[in-house]
Structure 1
Amino acid sequence: MPDQTSPPASADLQEPTGYRRVFAVREFQAVFAAFALSLLGTVVGEIALTVLVYGLTGSPLLSALTFAMGFLPYLLGGTLLSGIADRYPARRVLVVCDLVCAGCALIMAAPGTPVAALLALRCVIAVVSPVFSGTRTATLAEILGDGDLFVLGRSLLRMVSQSAVLIGFGLGGVLLTVVTPRGALAVTVTTYLCSALLLRFGTRRRPATAQGGPLVRYSLAGAREVLGDRRIRALLLLLWVPPMFMVAPEALAAAYADEIGIGTATVGLLMATMPVGTIIGEAYAGSALSPAARSRIVLPLASCGLLPLLVYPLAPGLVWILAALLVTGLAGAYTLGLDRWFVDAVPKELRGRAMTVHTAGLMTIQGIGMALAGAAAEFWPVATVVGVVGALGTACCLGLVLEVRRTSRGPMGETGLTTI
């Protein structure tokens, strides 16, 4: 007679756990590979384009403007074109966006393309990007469901995004020692085309989730509906506001290194520490914590994540500064539980537009955060600015945490809001 107290043989060994459950979904494998390829190509392309524009003009302003073009049009595409994510089949939208980006990169790589055209094409890619990102996120909810698998899938893509920035800048620099900037842009074309092929043949066709009138009116109506709902707005702001303050130490890394006299060699370390912390925090929360535990840590981490930046004005030394940046990055694990709350709060027919607005707002508000931090550092020491950012950011996050608690739509225990 079998032992009734023993689990079935090898059941635990065969059951995927943590992030392995997400990779067990075949369609997600295609989405993940496509995202990694296109993102890596985008980072390499940004470096190559910046070097190309500087080489053609000799102007630091135009070279910097090339980077800025990657932020500014996000708001335009995310508000006026967000309806595309809901009104057209997702696979078609994703493939067309990749093809548009590939076409832009191909023209950039062509000899003789003038600087004005290079900047205009950069804007086109930036306008398309939030539509692509919002559609992909909404598609993840279709592929993985809107439960724990969706949260883990989103987390994986965020970790890839953080890693791609760290790896891509290094890879782009090495690549430019071997090929010309236009040659590096040709590599970007290839990554976009590979992404399009993976999405076309690795995911299945799904119908549009909604219909509407004229695209711009439909998109703006969706943005108003998203921002007009108190619960969704509170969650959205909690996804946006902490990153707005977190970018300040990275944006001011070079100035801070100069201020304390540690040399430019440590600038990369100052810029990389927080993303490394974010990757570690998300990886741990996604693999070691249950969905309930991830929900319980949302509000405490969102409330306290910026507090380590208060050590900057104390000038404790580089090791302590790096430790503060690492801990702030670790606190980014709050987004896993918050992602679940957000997708639960948004109606399915609004999901594509909501995700597009989220992406556009996140990129825009980080750009604003960088600009404000840089402006403040013109008048006050960098250490003081970052310390004030930590204090002001904590106050804003506490206010948002209270608003999220007030707008809870279910029993407090189900959302984890009793933890603070």
Structure 2
Amino acid sequence: MAQTGERVRFAAVFAIAEFRAMWTAELLSVGGDQLARVALSVLVFQRTSSAFLTGLTYALTFVPALVGGILLSGLGDRYPRREVMVVVDLARAALVGAMAIPGLPLWSLCALVTVVTLLNGPFKAAQQALLPDVLSGPTYTVGMAIRNITSQSAQLVGFAGGGLLVAAINPSVGLGLDAVTFLLSAALLRRGVRRRTAASPQTATGRRPFLASTVVGARVVFGDPGLRALIALCWLAGFYVTPEALAAPYASSLRAGAVAVGLIMASDPVGSVIGGIIFGKWVPEHLQIRVIGVLGIFAGIPLILCVLKPSLLISMALFAMSGMLATAYNIQGTASFMRRLPDAQRAQGAGLLSSGLITAQGLGALGAGVLADRLGPAPTVALAGLVGALVAIPIAIGWHRVAKNR
């Protein structure tokens, strides 16, 4: 690992050919996925006129990733990680291509969506496990910042542009375009990333069942004080997702319309992009490592101020500030987590981190909805910020003890 005082420019990371290939492939996939979510929502609502079925289909683009992340992430340790990503991309291209067939029964569409989302888990785990092999030292942290910036930006553009594109063409064509992005991603990874051997190859007689691999991965993570602190830090997102989850009722409480809902939901990603630029480009890594626990606490403070029931513009600024601080600790927290994992369990650990993150965000959104019906949106956001900051205090203390002994 390079010295922590060394700074790396974004251009230096983009100069690494393997990273460029992985970054471009990810950008294509994220943009295509956002387009597909819009296309699916439009397609299902056009065919059923049911808000429930539309919401259910949209949920299927997220929820099965939890199962895939837990049970299938070990594929990235058992087999060469580039090959896992390429095969998953090809499988998703075929499945999404089938979804684009006009007149496909709704149950078949939902089944295909479920399988595609299930495959997101092993792909993301293999991707996260491979990145430390492509980028070393401080270039890895800067690369994580670049990925965060482009991912957040692609989501914003994908949602906005996807709606316009689907309106201009056809939902089925939109799904077809998503299938093409997976094919392009597979080609980029195959040609632009060199093949590496499996981190934990298994013989025919010595293959460990997936469930046993999951247990081993969990023991590695929760048996290490540093990994425990880092994974808990990342899971604080369960508290800080509240503004996005309550965007519609929050806007209604301000007597604002649908445009305000979109602005509220965009505030966190905008803050995330700013945080990625500031901490990825200008803050030395050794300082990031020292302060991530404190940033976990500070990320809740802007949300606490919502108890004052601020205006829309001030609320957006507070949400953006929280997103900026949360991104700062999340980028370095994830980078430190992946570095600390043994290579043989890196993909499994990555799957556990991302699966837990999805679960925390889902439970956080669910709890926020229940509380908002009783307390109101602004007080609920404030309470989530307060509880998140309080929970972050022992996490920060635990990480400080680990970091001090590095």
Query: Is residue 156 from structure 1 mapped to residue 154 from structure 2 by the alignment?
Result: no
Q: Output one character per residue of 1:251-289: Cα deviation in whole Å (capped at 9) or x when no partner.
A: 111111111212222211111111111111111111112
Q: After alignment, is 358-367 or 275-284 more displaced? A: 358-367
User: What secondary structure is seen at the aligned counterpart in 2 of 1:289?
Assistant: coil
Change in CA separation of 1:228 and 1:300 when aligned onto 2, cut-off 3 Å: closer
**Separation in structure 2 between the aligned mates of residue 82 and residue 258 of structure 1, nearest angstrom:** 40
Match of 1:25 in 2: 16
User: What secondary structure is seen at the aligned counterpart in 2 of 1:297?
Assistant: helix
Q: Output one character per residue of 1:34-59: Cα deviation in whole Å (capped at 9) or x when no partner.
A: 00001100110011011111111111
Identity of aligned residues (%): 35
Indicate conservation of the 8 Å contact 1:302/1:334, yes or no: yes
**Separation in structure 1 between the aligned mates of residue 117 and residue 374 of structure 2, nearest angstrom:** 32
Q: After alignment, is 57-66 or 314-323 more displaced? A: 314-323
Alignment equivalent of 1:320, drawn from 297, 314, 320: 314
**Separation in structure 2 between the aligned mates of residue 249 and residue 411 of structure 1, nearest angstrom:** 34
TM-score if structure 2 supplies the norm length?
0.93
Q: After alignment, is 48-57 or 314-323 more displaced? A: 314-323
Alignment equivalent of 1:266, drawn from 251, 254, 260: 260
Deviation of 1:180 after TM superposition, in Å, equals: 1.1
Match of 2:344 in 1: 349
Match of 2:3 in 1: none
Query: Is residue 58 from structure 1 mapped to residue 53 from structure 2 by the alignment?
Result: no
Alignment equivalent of 1:93, drawn from 63, 78, 84: 84
Counterpart of 2:400 in structure 1: which amino acid? R
Counterpart of 1:322 in structure 2: which amino acid? M
User: What secondary structure is seen at the aligned counterpart in 1 of 2:375?
Assistant: coil
Deviation of 1:74 after TM superposition, in Å, equals: 1.9
**Separation in structure 2 between the aligned mates of residue 132 and residue 326 of structure 1, nearest angstrom:** 29
Query: Is residue 133 from structure 1 mapped to residue 124 from structure 2 by the alignment?
Result: yes
Change in CA separation of 1:358 and 1:135 when aligned onto 2, cut-off 3 Å: same
Alignment equivalent of 1:361, drawn from 356, 359, 364: 356
Matches within 5 A, 1:20-419: 20-145=11-136, 147-212=137-202, 213-231=207-225, 232-241=227-236, 243-331=237-325, 332-406=327-401, 408=402, 411-412=404-405, 414=406
Counterpart of 1:356 in structure 2: which amino acid? G
**Separation in structure 2 between the aligned mates of residue 56 and residue 215 of structure 1, nearest angstrom:** 42
Q: Output one character per residue of 1:50-101: Cα deviation in whole Å (capped at 9) or x when no partner.
A: 1111111111111001121122212211111121010001111000111111
Indicate conservation of the 8 Å contact 2:233/2:293, yes or no: no
**Separation in structure 2 between the aligned mates of residue 411 and residue 319 of structure 1, nearest angstrom:** 40
Q: After alignment, is 198-207 or 215-224 more displaced? A: 215-224
Query: Tell me, which stretches of 5 or more residues in structure 1 are unaligned?
Result: 1-14, 415-420
Indicate conservation of the 8 Å contact 1:79/1:223, yes or no: no
**Separation in structure 1 between the aligned mates of residue 107 and residue 69 of structure 2, nearest angstrom:** 23
**Separation in structure 2 between the aligned mates of residue 312 and residue 327 of structure 1, nearest angstrom:** 13
Indicate conservation of the 8 Å contact 2:217/2:345, yes or no: no
Deviation of 1:183 after TM superposition, in Å, equals: 0.9
List 4+ stretches of structure 1 deviating above 3 A: none
**Separation in structure 1 between the aligned mates of residue 267 and residue 306 of structure 2, nearest angstrom:** 15
Deviation of 1:17 after TM superposition, in Å, equals: 4.0
Indicate conservation of the 8 Å contact 2:21/2:192, yes or no: yes
Indicate conservation of the 8 Å contact 2:70/2:121, yes or no: no
Query: Tell me, which stretches of 5 or more residues in structure 2 are unaligned?
Result: 1-5
Deviation of 1:344 after TM superposition, in Å, equals: 3.1
Counterpart of 2:378 in structure 1: which amino acid? A
Q: Output one character per residue of 1:309-348: Cα deviation in whole Å (capped at 9) or x when no partner.
A: 1121212322221221121112021223323421232111
Q: Output one character per residue of 1:155-214: Cα deviation in whole Å (capped at 9) or x when no partner.
A: 211222211111100111111121111111011011111001000111111110003424
**Separation in structure 2 between the aligned mates of residue 219 and residue 319 of structure 1, nearest angstrom:** 48
Q: After alignment, is 106-115 or 288-297 more displaced? A: 288-297
Pairs aligned (count): 395
Q: RMSD of the TM alignment (CA)? A: 1.7
**Separation in structure 1 between the aligned mates of residue 386 and residue 290 of structure 2, nearest angstrom:** 23
